[in-house]
Amino acid sequence: MSNTRIERDSMGELLVPADALYGAQTQRAVNNFPISHQRMPAPFIRALILAKAAAAKANVDLKQISESQGKAIVDAAQGLLEGDFMQHFPVDIFQTGSGTSSNMNANEVIATLASRLLGEPVNPNDHVNCGQSSNDIIPTTIHVSAALVLHEQTLPALLHLVEVIERKAVEVHPFIKTGRTHLMDAMPVRMSQVLEGWAQQLKANIAHLQGLLPSLQALAQGGTAVGTGVNAHPEFATRFSQQLSSLTQVRFTPGKNLFALIGSQDTAVAVSGQLKAIAVSLMKIANDLRWMNSGPLAGLGEIELEGLQPGSSIMPGKVNPVIPEATAMVAAQVIGNDSVITVAGQSGNFELNVMLPIIAQNLLSSLELLANSSRLLADKAIASFKVNEPKLKEALARNPILVTALNPIIGYQKAAEIAKKAYQQGRPVIDVALEHTDLPRSQLEILLDPEKLTAGGV
């Protein structure tokens, strides 16, 4: 038996693997784009299949296809989603800029399955793709896939990270550490204040990200080829969004201007920009953890991160801050992804952006990377680190910057002299201040009390 079969499209005949659900147009794309050997992301394909089911339901409602055809398409889509659907979607990320190859891949696979279910031909273009163009279904799928990942993965992970940080802040509130600016000793802070700062960074970023959801959930569907809606029923966009909302339990709406949503990818660029901001916050948190954990003898040694694996193939006993390091690498990748999306977003030439697949790939990559790393950072670094209180107290006692609290009483110049002597002599600042001022020890102990200098954590 032959392991291939002949398929036909508007360009002629083509050999396709005998057991493939897809047809000629998918095979042409496989042949044309052996570039990265990376397929479109699974969340994108999932959203594309859901969009095809929603379109079929809308087209049945609008009497554009028969009820039996619509049911077969919906059942085929649902069957795909319940199995290992990615095996049927071999098209490379680096393909035609409109994503037409991926659209036709979905149309062909669903048409094959629907034809088998119905017992008569279901056409990939006339039925599965009814009322659609690659030029609106692919921008729609970018929005839908990103919205679903945001709702299901990224936002829950970020909120979990905030919750863990805030819970840890309560736990470490009693501990006071040396603050640092320019990586140099500064006034003391509570450990809880450090963590509360991290939490606020993330909460602000989450709020900004949530503010983009209405734009992300507004869809290009109904614009078809150039935004005019040619070959689509006038009510198709509304019915499609209603059906998709029902299928996903996320509220999608027709875009206010379909020309903008097809000709540009400004919303994807904006979402990516906010993901970059989150990556920058995570990089700061990860690096703070690495510095505080550094040592344990020759570094700061203020905290001890959970030991997760041996840190060296040659140095026995070495343990490294692997989760913060992995998080920092994720942050770097997300920043890089944003650069790609920024360049791709500039490729809206007249009525169509022609870098849609790479926008989808990088946006979904950023969303998933941030989701996964946020949970790991929360559960395997922040929740479990231990505070090295003796090291904190030792550093605080010898911190000459505490003399800042004496400025209003003895003046900046005198305080600077005391700080320099304390540093040069390696002595506690209170002892040096006692020798060089008329202030009694009892008053100095009050003025230089690190706990009072942190404003009690308020």
Catalytic residues: 182, 312
Which residues, 6 or more positions from 314, have their beta carbon under 8 angstroms from its beta carbon? Answer: none
Task: Name the amino acid, one letter, at 201.
Answer: Q
Q: Are 58 and 128 in contact (CB under 8 A)?
A: no
Six-digit token string for 301: 């040694």
Which residues, 6 or more positions from 114, have their beta carbon under 8 angstroms from its beta carbon? Answer: 69, 72, 73, 75, 76, 122, 127, 128
Q: Are 219 and 261 in contact (CB under 8 A)?
A: yes
Cα atoms found within 13 Å of the Cα of residue 405, Cβ hemisphere only:
23
Where are the extended beta strands (E) located within 1-46?
A: 4-9, 12-17
Task: Report CA 118 to chain centroid distance, whole Å.
Answer: 41
Six-digit token string for 231: 């070959």
439: left (phi over 0), alpha (psi -120 to 50) or beta: beta
Six-digit token string for 437: 């001022």
Pairwise CA distance, residues 30 & 50, whole Å:
23
Six-digit token string for 332: 């770097």
Tokens 């027709």 map to which residue? 254
